[in-house]
Structures are given as C-alpha cells and as structure tokens.
Structure 1
Amino acid sequence: MPTDVVFLLVPKLHLLDLAGPAQVFATANDFGYGYRLSYVAEVEEIVTAQGVPVKAQLEWPDLGPDDLIVVPGWRSPRLSPVPPIGPETKQRLRSHHAGGGTVASVCSGADALGAAGLLDGRRYTTHHDLTDELAARYPNGTIVRDVLYVVDDRVITSAGIASGIDLALHLVAIERGAEAAARVAREMVVYARRNGDELQESVMLRHRGHLSDLAHRVQDVIDARYAQRLPLTELAAEIGVSERTLTRIFTNATGLTPLRYQQLLRLERAEHLIGHGATVESAARAVGFEDPRMLRRLRSRATEPVAG
C-alpha cells in the first residue's frame, strides 16, 4: 500500500517549504516507492508568501498509522500572534499522531504542531530566526538550536526552506531504504543528503555577513580550494596585497585568520563525511589533512582558537 503524505497548507506558506518535500515524495513515487500526495487546507485557495495561489482540498483523506502529515512553514521572520489553524485542524493533527501516525513540520510549521500540543515534552527545532519565539511559546518542549531537523516520537521538525528536503529524504531513507533516498537525491541533483544534527548555517555562510570585498575574494579562493595547501604568501599574491594587509582585513571582517577559516571548512566537511560512515583517517585525507591527528585535535577543541 502506498504511504499517504498530506500537506497541510496555511495562508502565506513558503513555496519551497512545500515544494521541496513534495518533490522528494513525488520523485520517490516516480521510482515506484509508493507515495500518494494530497494537499488540504481550511480554505480552497491559499496565496503563498511569494504570491502564487495554490488550490487545496477541504476534505482530508483517511489516514492510517503508516501515513504522514507535513505542515510547511509560512511567512517569517516572526511568528503570527496565533497559529493560523483552527480547532478542527489541531484535532486532526493530535488524532493522527495518537493513532500511530507521523507528523512533520518545516520552519514555522512547528507552530502548528505546538498549537496542537505535539511539542510538549518533546525536542523540536525550527528556523534559526524563530527559535527564541517558539521556545517562549512552547516552553513545555525543548528547543534544539541550529540543527537541520529533529525526530522525537513520530514528531519531526525541521529548520525550514531547504531543510525540508533533508527531512523528506530522511523519511524516504527510513521507510524505503538508503538506496531509495540516494536515487531520489541524485534525480533531484541534491549535492548530499544531510544528517539532522548538521548545522543550519555552514561555515561559508556564517562568516559572509561582512562588507569587505577583499575578504570575500579571499574566502572565494579558500572555499574553492580548502583541501589544498594555501600558504599565506600564495594567497596574498593571488589577491594582490601584502600578507600583512590580507591578514588584517580578513581578520577584521570575519573574526578569523585565513588559516583558521580554512581549518573550519575542513573540519565541517570532515564531520559531514564521518557522519555518513567515513573513518577519521579517510575523512582527514579527503579534506586535506596529511596527518589525521590534526583532525582529531580540531574535533576535540572545535570551539577553541587554533594557533597558526
């Protein structure tokens, strides 16, 4: 029997919060893995945050314990004063979970699960811009910050936007196997299926909020060649400034030396490989460490400054 996946649509939903997971399950179904998608709402037409109207059905399909309800997020960065779902919809969510079914959310969709009481006593996450608000609104649960998704007793919450794809691929892997999820990811040209505990913001994004054109150019070089040896002399010559000027401007802009930035990129990529089954030794080689002991040291003191 196919698995029913019901998307609960609310006004001003984000298109990618809906389209990302929907594409995963639709592609899985194209491969014969057995998913049946439907879209329900409290009104027949939903206008998305991007202005595209979406038609929905008012009647819910009959759902069993093997089926899934997904609540995509709606316009952020702040939560609406009250979740945009009514009492009957809240009861639908509660009843489905109580009957053994799974409920999932993308981004601010976690607010709907919280309104239904499904976050109480559970760990959950959301988009990093909303964590403080959601934690205050649902203090009987435990917010998990800066991860892609959290699974707790058939309640699955994700960070939002693109992380909905990671959540859906995870569910395909659990229900249909890792090979099925890999086939879907490849068909969707997804670079890698990320684990739930990976950070919402990569090192590349976290240190890009500055306005220094020179520092951005240096980061472009390091991002592209982080697994290679990049002596400061070579880096400075490529950018066309002195080593002293490069170090000063880069550190002022990012809070890191070029070496520390490169090490963080290597560490992040190595953690990803290890999380997907690689040994420390093979991960160290893949990211450019000649000696795996360096990777072990960086992992053991990941929050400490590295001499260099």
Structure 2
Amino acid sequence: MPRVVFLLIPQVHLLDVAGPAQVFSTADDLGHPHTLTYVAEDDEVATVQGLTLRAETSWPSLTPDDLVIVPGWRGPTRPASQQALRHLREHHASGGTVASVCAGADALGRAGLLDGRRCTTHHAVQDELARLYPRAVVVKDRLYIEDDRIVTSAGVASGTDMALHLITTRHGPYAAGQVARAMLVHTHRDGTAEQISPLLRWRSHVDDTVHRIQDLIEVRFTERLPLSLLAEAAGCSERTVTRLFSQATGLTPLAYQTALRLERAEHLLGRGATVETAARAVGFVDARMLRRLRARTAPSAGR
C-alpha cells in the first residue's frame, strides 16, 4: 500500500494539508489504497488557523512508490531540519516523488531538489523563491508543475489540483474523476497549469450522458472504442453521441481518448519508458502516431 507522508512545519496552513490529504483519503475509500502519515520535529504542530495537529516524530521506511508532501506555512518560522531535508533528498534519489504546496517549495529548495528543475509556488512568494534558489527555474502563474518527480504547486486550493494530478498519473483519469466527484470539487480550473489533466480540463460540464461516455473511455482508453460501442453504452444513436460530446467538451470522443493516451504516454516517458514502449502501452499501434502527437503539441507545452 503506497504511503503519503506529510512533513509538517510549525505554522502550517491547514488547507495546504487538508486538501491533498482529503484527495488521497477519498481515493482510499474508492479502492485506491493509501496510508497517510504525518511527521514533524515535535508531536504537536500549530497551524496558522489555530488548530493543533498531531504528528509522528520519526520517519517511516519509504519505497519509491511512496510520496512525500511538504505543505506551506506562514513565516517567519524555523525551516525544515537538516534531518528532514536529508529524508527528502534520499527519497527522491531512491526513485520516489516529492511534492510541495505553496511555501513548502522552500524546503525542496533547501534540500537542493529544485536545482535545474522547473517549479512554481504561490504568486506572493515566487520572486523570493527565485532569489533564494537561483538554480531553480521558477515558472510564474501556474497551478502546479511536475519535473523529474518533483511536483510543486501554487498553494491553498491548488494543492487539491496537484493531488488530483498525482492520482491521475498513479491510478488513471477515471480514478481522479471519481475522487473529484466524491469531493464535489470543480474538475476544471483554467488552462494555466501545463500539467492539468485532460479529465480535469473537459469534465466541467453537467451532461450526465457525456459523463457516462467519458467514464467508459477513461476505463478503456487503451482499447479500440468504436462509436457504436459508445452509443450502446449511452443508450442513444451514434450521431447523438457525437453531437452531445462536442457540445459538452468541444471534442470528438476519439479526440478525448487520444488526449488521455497522450497524457499517459508522457507520464511513462517521464518514468524512463521508450517511445515505442509507451506508445504500445497506451494503445497506439506503433510509435509513429505518438511522435506525431508530441510534435504537434510541443509548442503549446513550451518544449
């Protein structure tokens, strides 16, 4: 069972912890198990909002499948300890993912994990992050960014977006959609986050028929899905499927399926897969289609 470890710093922002924690807890309820652990220097941690949190004072053993999240805090306060920074470095070096919310990016910077990597943080402290860590590539006005298993987010509510992104990459877009709907959160923010999931971008509508079609595509996006199959699942004609889907999302069902395949392929490539392996894993016949799609989207992705 993957473990999600929250490193709590005194004067931590409650929502920076609670948002991502709720995402992973809800995922657990829906059949995607996670163990949530909270660690700190002391067993009680004061939040900005006045609620005291309980935490473990010793770190658990971690595997590459585990995730460490550093929520943001209000300064000035004592920085993360050298021991905590060492844990962050070692976890990433072993193949694990390290994430931050808001000012939590400072801990990643102190650990040297932002050097040479794209990152973001709350707009109020973006310039300060760039000044403190000149080797980091601070990208402004983004909800979240992932670069080589380092995930940073803008803060407060964007921590939830980041956590949904991590659910998508680990369990697929259908799982993320289940979590978002269970939490009653908006599945569409805006287009400023480069890593925002296609599911989160095109799930903001209220058409139940199209949601059912998307559910099917998301579960079976690696398969060939003829329009007749989608129409049968939706209980309407093929023409109606195309019309309703286009009205709700601006896409054809095939274009939506292709976007899901491309997102999953990019994740596999980021984990070291070859283009050929990634292409076949997501349902393309060979690597040529994946190469063409990546080349087509490269300018908008800033590649």
Give the TM-score of the pair, scaled to structure 1. 0.62
CA contact (8 A) 1:128 1:159 kept: yes
CA contact (8 A) 1:123 1:144 kept: yes
Deviations 1:186-222 (A, max 9, x none): 01001214478439xxxxxxxxxxxxxxxxxxxxxxx
CA contact (8 A) 2:145 2:193 kept: no
Give the TM-score of the pair, scaled to structure 2. 0.63
Cross-structure match for 2:154: 159
2:16 matched to 1:21?
Answer: no
Amino acid in structure 1 at the alignment position of 2:91: H
CA contact (8 A) 2:8 2:39 kept: yes
Cross-structure match for 2:175: 180
Return the offset for 1:128: 0.4
2:175 matched to 1:192?
Answer: no
Q: Which runs of 4+ in 1 moved over 2 A?
A: 193-199, 276-280
Separation (CA, whole Å) in 2 of partners of 1:277 and 1:136: 41
Cross-structure match for 1:136: 131
Separation (CA, whole Å) in 1 of partners of 2:78 and 2:136: 17
Identity rate of aligned residues, in percent? 55
Cross-structure match for 2:68: 69
SS at match of 2:68: strand
Return the offset for 1:279: 3.8
2:88 matched to 1:93?
Answer: yes
Cross-structure match for 1:36: 35
Distance verdict in 2 for CA 1:152–1:171, change over 3 Å: same
Distance verdict in 2 for CA 1:195–1:154, change over 3 Å: farther
SS at match of 1:157: strand
Aligned pairs for 1:1-308 (under 5 A) are 2-75=1-74, 80=76, 84-194=79-189, 197-198=192-193, 278-279=250-251
Return the offset for 1:69: 0.1
SS at match of 1:129: helix
Separation (CA, whole Å) in 2 of partners of 1:139 and 1:24: 32
Separation (CA, whole Å) in 2 of partners of 1:194 and 1:26: 22
CA contact (8 A) 1:125 1:143 kept: yes
Cross-structure match for 2:223: none
Amino acid in structure 2 at the alignment position of 1:48: T
How many residues align structurally?
Answer: 201
Distance verdict in 2 for CA 1:38–1:196, change over 3 Å: farther
Amino acid in structure 1 at the alignment position of 2:158: S
Deviations 1:248-297 (A, max 9, x none): xxxxxxxxxxxxxxxxxxxxxxxxx99x97449xxxxxxxxxxxxxxxxx
Separation (CA, whole Å) in 1 of partners of 2:65 and 2:172: 15
Return the offset for 1:59: 1.3
SS at match of 1:103: strand
CA contact (8 A) 1:69 1:103 kept: yes
Separation (CA, whole Å) in 2 of partners of 1:21 and 1:190: 12
Distance verdict in 2 for CA 1:83–1:114, change over 3 Å: farther
CA contact (8 A) 1:6 1:70 kept: yes
Distance verdict in 2 for CA 1:195–1:112, change over 3 Å: farther
CA contact (8 A) 1:8 1:41 kept: yes
Gaps of 5+ in 1: 200-272, 281-308
Separation (CA, whole Å) in 2 of partners of 1:104 and 1:160: 12
Larger gyration radius, structure 1 or structure 2:
1
CA contact (8 A) 2:6 2:38 kept: yes
